[in-house]
Every structure is written in C-alpha cells, then in structure tokens.
C-alpha cells in the first residue's frame, strides 16, 4: 500500500481542496480519482472540440436560417455529460492498462490501483458504468453520429498502448481526444464535410502540443522505465515543435471558419486564443514540472475562447 495514499486518501498530483474531498464520502474518493473528477482539465479538453464543432455547424445553419437553438443547446448539454463520462471511463481503462507502469512512476504510484485502494475488478465495473452513461448520451444523437461515435472506440482502445510502440503516443491521444471535433457537426447535420475535417485535424495538432507540455513532467521517470513520448522525442526542440503544431492548429481553424462562413467574431476569438498559445511557447521551461502543468491546464481557457468566439458569431453568420 502506498503510504501517502493510505494516510491521506489523496493522489500526489491532485489538488487536495477539490470538491471531491469536500462533498463525497471517503469511500467514493478512489472512484472519483479513477475518473479524474478531482482534475476537471481532462474532460474540459475533451469537451471543447465537441463544442467547437457544434458551434461551427450552428453558424452554418444560422446562415441558412435553419438553426434550432433548443437542439443546439441540448447537444451542448449532451457533450458535457458525455465528456465527463467518457473521459472518466478512458482514464479508468488507462489506469488498468498502466497499472504496473504507474507503480514505477513517483507521480502516479499513489493512484487508486497501484496504491491498492481499489481492486482491478472494482475498477472494471466502474469503467463499465461510466461507459454505459456515455452510450446513453450517444444514443440521443442521429444514426450517423451514433455510428461515428462507435468508430472512436478503436482509437480509444489503442491509445494506452501507444507509448509502448511509438514516440508519438500524443498523436493517438489527439485522434481520440479530438473525435468530438467530428461529432458536433455530425450531430446537427447527420454528415461530415470539409470544414469539420479541418477542425478535427486542427484539434489533433493542438492536443499533441499541449500534451507534449504535460509529458515533460514525467520525462525522467519515462526514460527510466522505457515509456515513449513526444516530450522525450522533441527534447530541447520542444518550443520549435510547438510553433509548428500550434501554428497548424490556428491556420486550420481559420480555414475551417472561413469555409463554413462563420461570423467575424469567430476570428476575433481565434486571434485571442492564438495569443494565448504564443504565450505558452514564449514562457515554457521544459525543466519546470509545475510550470508545465499550469501551461497545460491553461489550454482549457484556449478552448473556451475559441468556443465563445463561435458562439458570439452566431448572430452575424
């Protein structure tokens, strides 16, 4: 049993004043930690591409005079619930796959599985419950979106193993985490088209960028146990890679917005988000783990700004 986890019920890299520890009974803490409810940044970053995609589709429909605001709002609620549920299921699955690796990494050995506070069977049952919640959400969409959502499971299943066979596990994370960039549009249109494909690729590039920053926290432990990552691959050239990845994100989003005929405020939001990404690159210190974590978390604000720009653009579409 991990002494820190046993004594405090916390995990080493999670904030101790989170609502999980103030509201939930102590017996529920390990499950909340498996789902990362104490670290909302994950479901936020999963949710923003969904919101971008749905809002971009809403701009197109608004321009055609066919937007149902009630359906658009309902879909945003579904994407919120689905993001929390599926991020939790994905994290639980990832912890099951990485059980042995997490025991060898200082930052992760206090998690519920390596610390022994939940069994593998309990984790599997909890993962199934979260996945069923995600399935219920998915079934609220049209048939095309349902099929598209099912396809995402193949990428989700591969991601936890990617760090074992490629230096680009962040690419597989991007494919999985950005899938909502297709789902929002599919939910309103029942099909896909060029603007949303560009948005999806942009979200993949964004994800590789911000998760590379995140992975710099663990690069020493990863090197010792043979876990591969773009942080280790890029090394001292990380800033140059981020220029390319974040630059690609902004260019593709701008082209997607233009192709979809989004209102001018969407581009204003994108300009502000671009400034925030430039700031991340300018101040990044890859050897400062605490700063890497804060810069990683700041990407939720980037996602929110892009969405709010698209939302504000609706009346002008």
At 1 the pLDDT is 47
Q: Give the pLDDT confidence of 111-148 residue by residue, as tens digits.
A: 898 988 999 999 999 999 999 999 999 999 999 999 99
Please report, in angstroms and rounded to a whole number, the separation of the first and last CA atoms in the chain. 57
At 106 the pLDDT is 72
Mean pLDDT over 233-251 rounds to 96
| CB half-sphere exposure, 224, CA atoms < 13 A | 9
Which token pair is 185?
């549009």
Is residue 101 scored above 90 in pLDDT?
A: no
Instruction: Outline where the chain has alpha helix (H).
Output: 3-8, 19-23, 29-34, 41-63, 69-97, 99-104, 120-138, 143-165, 169-177, 180-189, 194-215, 219-225, 230-234, 238-260, 264-283, 289-297, 299-313
What average pLDDT does the structure give for the chain? Answer: 92
Taking the model in full, what pTM does it have?
Answer: 0.90
């Amino acid at each position: 049993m991990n002494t820190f986890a046993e004594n405090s019920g916390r995990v080493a890299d999670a904030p101790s004043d989170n609502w999980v520890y103030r509201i939930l009974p102590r017996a529920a803490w390990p499950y909340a930690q498996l789902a990362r409810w104490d670290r909302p940044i994950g479901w936020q970053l999963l949710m923003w591409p969904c919101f971008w995609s749905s809002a971009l589709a809403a701009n197109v429909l608004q321009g055609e005079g066919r937007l149902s605001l009630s359906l658009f709002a309902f879909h945003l609620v579904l994407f919120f619930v689905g993001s929390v549920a599926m991020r939790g299921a994905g994290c639980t699955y990832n912890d099951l796959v990485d059980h042995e690796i997490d025991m060898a990494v200082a930052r992760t050995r206090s998690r519920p599985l390596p610390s022994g506070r939940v069994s593998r069977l309990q984790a599997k049952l909890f993962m199934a419950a979260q996945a069923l919640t995600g399935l219920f959400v998915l079934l609220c969409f049209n048939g095309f979106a349902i099929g598209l959502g099912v396809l995402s499971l193949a990428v989700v299943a591969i991601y936890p193993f990617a760090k074992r066979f490629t230096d680009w596990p962040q690419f597989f994370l991007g494919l999985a985490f950005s899938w909502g960039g297709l789902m929002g549009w599919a939910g309103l249109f029942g099909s896909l088209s060029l603007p949303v494909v560009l948005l999806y690729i942009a979200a993949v590039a964004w994800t590789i960028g911000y998760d590379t920053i995140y992975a710099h926290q663990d690069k020493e432990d990863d090197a010792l146990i043979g876990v591969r990552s773009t942080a280790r691959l890029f090394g001292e050239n990380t800033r140059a890679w981020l220029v390319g990845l974040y630059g690609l994100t902004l260019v593709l989003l701008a082209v997607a917005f233009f192709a979809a005929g989004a209102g001018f405020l969407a581009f204003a939001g994108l300009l502000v988000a671009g400034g925030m990404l430039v700031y991340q690159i300018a101040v990044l210190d890859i050897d400062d783990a605490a700063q890497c974590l804060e810069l990683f978390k700041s990407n939720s604000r980037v996602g929110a700004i892009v969405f709010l720009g698209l939302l504000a653009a609706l009346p002008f579409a």
